[in-house]
């Protein structure tokens, strides 16, 4: 019966074509031994891989030898690797569980690629899935945690998720399958074992069918998550507009969506926004322009009509020294091209500046603007603070932060890409012109 259930599950979840080569992760425990037996008797092409984490002394060596003999019995390829798991955990400041998982999957994928297998198969079953769900709920992983262990993730498949532990034990007894016991499974030292030995048994006292009922719910949660993701995809298309490196969300449009907090969090999660920061962003919707929330890699700014998501870039202390005769300057995402000419030209292109070279003193400095900067806008004889000029130009905070200024002897020559200083304009007496052009890199 379990053979038929396996084949039905593989078809229903579209796990793999029977012609594909599977690399089975086999610990030697009952679950993985049953998976190997099922695969062999289904005529699947398999290899067996075993990880020796060297955490249980003689017992770890016993497990490796057992799996080696199992592979020989089935006449299938065998692969094994011994890891210094404790050292890896200490070096990377990880728990033993996390270190073992990381080492296991990295090595399995390496073997899969090098030996030409199509997929990696593990023996996770329904109880494992139910334990994972309750662990995720307890940790507060949100909607994504409700789907538990997925039947397929990339090159990884779990063909036994349909089976309970009782199903697997009955199959092992029916076919008289030997296996080895991992003594660490008996302790509550690890979180999963705590849920396995202490949490689920209590739930089963009140609800004897809790494992099967929760397993059925997981399938419904997976389907609900699909609907959830479809709705989020609609909101992303409707609300999130990308302009080069920045993203724009219309404030008034966002304020009308429901449920607001959930949609804001999901929209901003790819920008490393935490739930607490998402709540702060919701508050930005009713704040004055200029306020912002910073995530580890982005700044979310309340502009007049938009929330603007911009990558955190270099601070205003970044500067470049330009020597006389230098022709190019490489900026983040931009290039400055410099050329001396005798032809007097005028251009309406704000990314092009024509400067009276005689008024300059090298080296020039190219830097980010800072508070207190002022200049004499072209055509004016009175100075103006850059902060006021930017307000007149209706620049957002992220746009202001990207402004470069060119200066000569602490006098601003050009607000790059915007306006030159009147003191450095071309006049009838100009003999040499410095042509400066700001281009995208």
Per residue in 61-80, pLDDT (tens digit) is 999 999 999 999 999 999 99
Q: What is the mean pLDDT of residues 192-198?
A: 88
The verdict on pTM exceeding 0.75 is no
- Measured in residues, the chain has a length of 441
Q: What is the mean pLDDT of residues 398-419?
A: 92
Strands 156-157, 241-243: parallel, antiparallel or unpaired by DSSP? unpaired
Distances from the Cα of 121 to the Cαs of 100, 115, 157, 167, 220, in angstroms? 17, 15, 5, 19, 24
The per-residue pLDDT for 5 is: 95
Nearest Cα neighbor of 66 from 43, 46, 45, 36 is 36
Distance CA 36, CA 34 (A): 5
Give, rounded to a whole angstrom, the gap between the first and last alpha carbons of the chain: 64
The per-residue pLDDT for 402 is: 86
Given a cut of 80, is residue 316 above it in pLDDT?
Answer: no
| Fold classified for 2-223 | Rossmann fold (3.40.50)
Q: Which two tokens stand for residue 112?
A: 């899969």
The per-residue pLDDT for 345 is: 67
Is 3.30.465 the CATH classification of the domain at 240-311? yes
Q: Which has the higher per-residue pLDDT, 56 or 112?
A: 112
Confidence tier at 14 by pLDDT (50, 70, 90): very high
Distance CA 344, CA 62 (A): 87
Which secondary-structure segment (H or E) carries 302? Answer: strand 298-302
Given a cut of 50, is residue 201 above it in pLDDT?
Answer: yes
Given a cut of 70, is residue 314 above it in pLDDT?
Answer: no
Confidence tier at 140 by pLDDT (50, 70, 90): confident
Distance CA 217, CA 196 (A): 19
- Lowest-confidence segment of 228-232, 346-350, 401-405 by average pLDDT: 346-350
The per-residue pLDDT for 25 is: 97
Given a cut of 50, is residue 315 above it in pLDDT?
Answer: no
The per-residue pLDDT for 347 is: 72
Confidence tier at 398 by pLDDT (50, 70, 90): confident
Give bridge partners of residue 249 from the DSSP assignment: 307
Q: Which two tokens stand for residue 392?
A: 């007149």
Q: What is the mean pLDDT of residues 328-333?
A: 83
pLDDT above 90 coverage of the chain, percent? 71
Q: What is the mean pLDDT of residues 94-115?
A: 94
Q: What is the mean pLDDT of residues 398-427?
A: 93
Given a cut of 80, is residue 98 above it in pLDDT?
Answer: yes
Q: What is the mean pLDDT of residues 292-307?
A: 88
Given a cut of 90, is residue 8 above it in pLDDT?
Answer: yes
The per-residue pLDDT for 257 is: 96
Given a cut of 70, is residue 380 above it in pLDDT?
Answer: yes
* Per-domain residue ranges of the chain: 2-223, 240-311, 319-440
Architecture of domain 319-440: 3-Layer(bba) Sandwich (3.50)
The overall average pLDDT reported for the chain is 91
Distance CA 197, CA 415 (A): 68
Distance CA 104, CA 108 (A): 6
Q: What is the mean pLDDT of residues 98-103?
A: 92
Given a cut of 80, is residue 16 above it in pLDDT?
Answer: yes
Given a cut of 80, is residue 52 above it in pLDDT?
Answer: yes
Q: What angle do CA 218, 224, 229 make, to 5 degrees?
A: 125
Distance CA 228, CA 209 (A): 28
Given a cut of 90, is residue 288 above it in pLDDT?
Answer: no
Given a cut of 90, is residue 49 above it in pLDDT?
Answer: yes
Q: Which has the higher per-residue pLDDT, 293 or 117?
A: 117
């Amino acid at each position: 019966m379990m053979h038929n259930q396996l084949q039905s599950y593989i078809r229903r979840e579209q796990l793999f074509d029977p012609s594909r080569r599977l690399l089975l992760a086999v610990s030697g425990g009952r679950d993985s031994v049953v998976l190997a037996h099922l695969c062999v008797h289904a005529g699947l092409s398999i290899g067996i891989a075993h990880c020796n984490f060297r955490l249980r002394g003689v017992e770890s060596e016993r497990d490796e030898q057992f799996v080696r003999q199992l592979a020989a019995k089935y006449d299938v390829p065998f692969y094994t690797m011994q890891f210094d798991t404790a050292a890896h955990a200490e070096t990377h400041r990880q728990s033993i569980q996390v270190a073992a998982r990381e080492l296991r999957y990295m090595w399995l994928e390496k073997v899969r690629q090098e030996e030409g297998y199509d997929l990696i198969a593990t023996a996770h079953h329904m109880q494992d899935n139910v334990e994972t769900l309750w662990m995720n709920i307890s940790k507060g992983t949100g909607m994504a945690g409700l789907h538990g262990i997925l039947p397929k993730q990339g090159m990884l498949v779990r063909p036994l998720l349909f089976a309970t532990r009782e199903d697997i034990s009955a199959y092992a007894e029916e076919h008289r399958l030997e296996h080895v016991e991992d003594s660490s499974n008996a302790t509550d030292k690890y979180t999963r074992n705590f849920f396995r030995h202490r949490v689920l048994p209590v739930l089963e006292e009140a609800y004897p069918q809790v494992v099967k009922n929760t397993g059925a719910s997981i399938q419904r949660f997976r389907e609900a998550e699909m609907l959830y993701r479809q709705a989020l995809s609609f909101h992303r298309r409707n609300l999130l507009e990308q302009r080069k490196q920045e993203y724009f969300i219309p404030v008034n449009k966002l304020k009308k969506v429901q449920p607001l907090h959930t949609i804001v969090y999901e929209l901003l999660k790819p920008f490393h926004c935490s739930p607490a920061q998402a709540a702060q962003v919701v508050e930005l919707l009713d704040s004055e322009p200029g306020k912002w929330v910073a995530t580890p890699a982005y700044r979310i700014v309340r502009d007049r009509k938009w929330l603007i998501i911009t990558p955190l870039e270099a601070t205003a202390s970044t500067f470049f020294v330009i020597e006389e005769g230098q022709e190019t300057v490489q900026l983040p995402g931009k290039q400055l091209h410099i050329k001396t000419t005798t032809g007097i030209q005028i251009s309406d292109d704000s990314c092009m500046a024509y400067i009276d070279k005689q008024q300059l003193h090298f080296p020039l400095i190219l830097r980010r603007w800072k508070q207190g900067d002022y200049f004499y806008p072209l055509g004016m004889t009175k100075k103006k603070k850059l902060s006021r000029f930017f307000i007149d130009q209706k620049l957002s905070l992220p746009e202001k932060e990207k402004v470069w200024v060119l200066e000569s002897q602490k006098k601003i020559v050009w607000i790059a890409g915007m306006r030159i200083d009147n003191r450095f304009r071309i006049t009838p007496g100009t003999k040499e012109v410095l042509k400066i052009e700001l281009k995208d890199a």
